[in-house]
Amino acid sequence: MPVVELSYSRLEKLIGKVSRKQILESLPYLGLDIESESKDEIRIEYSPNRPDYSTDFGIALGMQGLLGTKKGLYQLKISSGSKKILVDSSISKIRPYVTSIVAKGGSIDDATIKQLMVMQEDLHFGIGRRRKKSSIGIHDLDTISFPLKYTTTDKNHKFTPLNSNQEQTITDILQNTDVGKDYGGILGNSTKFPIILDSKGKTVSFPPIINASMTTVTTKTKNLLVEVTGLNKDDVEDSLSVVATILQSAGFKLESVKISGSKNSSPLLKNKKLTFDSDLVNKTLGTNLTTSLICSCLKKSRLDAIAKGKKIECTIPRYRFDIFGPMDLVEEVALGYGIQNLEPVLSPSLTVGQKNQFSEKLKTLSSVLVGLGFTEALNSSLTSERILYSSTQRDPKGSISVVDSKSQEHTILRDSLLPGLIENLSRNIHEQYPQKLFEIGTVFTLGNPINETTHIACVSAHQSSNFTEIKSIMQSMLKTAFNLDSQTKTSSESLFKKGRSAKVILNGNSIGTIGEIDSAIIENFKIRVPVVGFEINLPG
């Protein structure tokens, strides 16, 4: 889940008439998880389908509704502007759509710049699918001469990119910069590249790669130009609607930008309407709310609603593109009503079942390892190529990837537990040693359908950790939990040091691996002490 860092003092000013205690108690009821807090700072996890919560401005809008200080629709106020973007037909087969808006008269400090950058990158990874579907450029308006032209150029085109003071060609940027290497593949093998030029021929942006240095936003910037390019008109306008909402809530006045050429048009960012039956709310939530109260709940979720008999007509702002149908509105009613006010009841269809024997075995196994001094970890089944393969020197052959993942850290289904535990150790290098962790969880391998098996893995990290130690722990675990005697047989495994690894043998069959983690892997994860571990397949 994406994380945003917030300041209590800024939130208090943005929300108005609210205490720190109220903020802390209310955040979970906005669907936000508190990751950590210290003094004036708090780290919040939010759902990728609510990119407006990637800034304190967006969270303040939601909090105002929940606390009742400002309810109803947050309406974008966009006045007619004179700025223009002309779209050349040469762009139509490369990155055909562009949309834009101007934001004037705002005040930007370092904290606001940081918030906007976080929002921009989260939109790139979420809606933008790592900039492929849409990418955003935010520029200092007063450095740009209009009208702009969205067109194509060749690989020899030169300009000074963001965070540089030297002109570079398109080829240089793609081959020698981190953003070029990361996102250049989006443009495929085309010999033409998208570019936005101002009326003086100066480069404004090279989407979806990088902005030009001349339009850099600083604390002295008063007026902004936002441009979004992409492959689909709805996607680029989705992104623009979020940015526009956040900028308006930050104090900017919005003006439209006239866009024409190659099937492009000026963005409207219109609200949408959705009508649903109030009975759906009460049947789903187990409540008996009147239509009037349902409308009030929706307004606390920053929507507008009017009762028409049993039907409710809801007006949804453009930036809430996560709302597709009536069930989404039921969820908004629940949030506005207050999840804490819903009384849980047992379903009449509920029956008392029996304990699953395999689950009981796992519970016993967990208790034994806790008794041996280990702490249980719980990692996501989805992980990254870096953790699972490249940093652990494992072969990615047969990996199972997620299509269009919204997070670069959750792209592959894990086929082993040990890499995740090693990553846990790398995130705890500031803590005292020894550190001993275990995890019991599902791993996945290719098949039709995909094969799912339960594994257990343990790691022990401290200055004196060695093969003998982890072998005795593994054998003690199996003996105490299941009264099973296991042996080890020397083998070579990619995770472990040569000559310091083995297969775990039970009744003549290999059920796992054990050994001392290779020093190169320990270095990759920046761990400061030796690490030993094992992973075993648990038959059902």
Residues of the chain with pLDDT > 90, as a percent, come to 77
Supply the pLDDT for residue 494: 87
Stretch(es) of the chain classified as CATH 3.30.56.10? 3-67, 272-338
Confidence band for 540, pLDDT divided at 50, 70 and 90: low
What is the pLDDT averaged over residues 157-185? 95
CA terminus-to-terminus distance, the chain: 31
Helix (H) / strand (E) element for 86: namely: strand 84-87
Backbone angles phi, psi at 442, to 5 degrees: -90, 135
Q: What is the DSSP letter of 130?
A: T
Q: How far apart are CA 474 and CA 503, in angstroms?
A: 12
pLDDT digits (tens, 9 = 90+) for 459-505: 999 999 999 999 999 999 999 988 889 999 999 988 999 999 999 99
Edge-to-edge strand order for the sheet containing 84-87?
210-211, 203-206, 193-197, 148-153, 84-87, 258-260
Stretch(es) of the chain classified as CATH 3.50.40.10? 78-260
Supply the pLDDT for residue 222: 95
**More confident: 406 or 343:** 343
Confidence band for 396, pLDDT divided at 50, 70 and 90: confident
Q: Which residues, in sequence order, are bridge partners of residue 440?
A: 456
Supply the pLDDT for residue 39: 85
| 78-260: CATH, from 3.40.190.10, 3.50.40.10, 3.30.200.20, 3.30.360.10 | 3.50.40.10
Q: Which residues, in sequence order, are bridge partners of residue 323?
A: none
Average pLDDT score over the chain: 93
Is pLDDT above 90 for 348?
no
Residues in the chain: 540
Is pLDDT above 90 for 126?
no
Q: How far apart are CA 455 and CA 81, in angstroms?
A: 61
Q: What is the DSSP letter of 190?
A: -
Supply the pLDDT for residue 214: 96
| 3-67: CATH, from 3.60.15.10, 3.30.56.10, 2.60.120.10, 3.40.605.10 | 3.30.56.10
Is pLDDT above 90 for 405?
no
Give residue 292's identity as a one-letter amino acid code: S
What is the pLDDT averaged over residues 102-114? 93
Sign of the four-CA dihedral 286, 287, 290, 292: negative
What is the pLDDT averaged over residues 212-236? 96
Supply the pLDDT for residue 36: 86
Give residue 366's identity as a one-letter amino acid code: S
Tokens 């606001």 -> residue:
112
- Which fold does the domain 272-338 belong to in CATH? Phenylalanyl-tRNA Synthetase; Chain B, domain 1 (3.30.56)
Is the domain defined by 357-538 classed in CATH 3.30.930.10? yes
Q: Which residues contact 311 (CB under 8 A, 6 or more apart)?
A: 275, 276, 277, 278
pLDDT digits (tens, 9 = 90+) for 286-308: 999 999 999 999 999 999 999 99
What is the pLDDT averaged over residues 214-227? 96
Backbone angles phi, psi at 127, to 5 degrees: -55, -40
Is pLDDT above 80 for 347?
no
Lowest mean pLDDT among 210-214, 224-228, 410-414: 410-414
Q: Is the pTM of this model over 0.95?
A: no
What is the pLDDT averaged over residues 367-378? 94
Residue 364 has which token pair?
């016993």
Stretch(es) of the chain classified as CATH 3.30.930.10? 357-538
What is the pLDDT averaged over residues 360-387? 92
pLDDT digits (tens, 9 = 90+) for 182-204: 999 999 888 999 999 999 999 99
Q: Which residues, in sequence order, are bridge partners of residue 515?
A: 501, 533
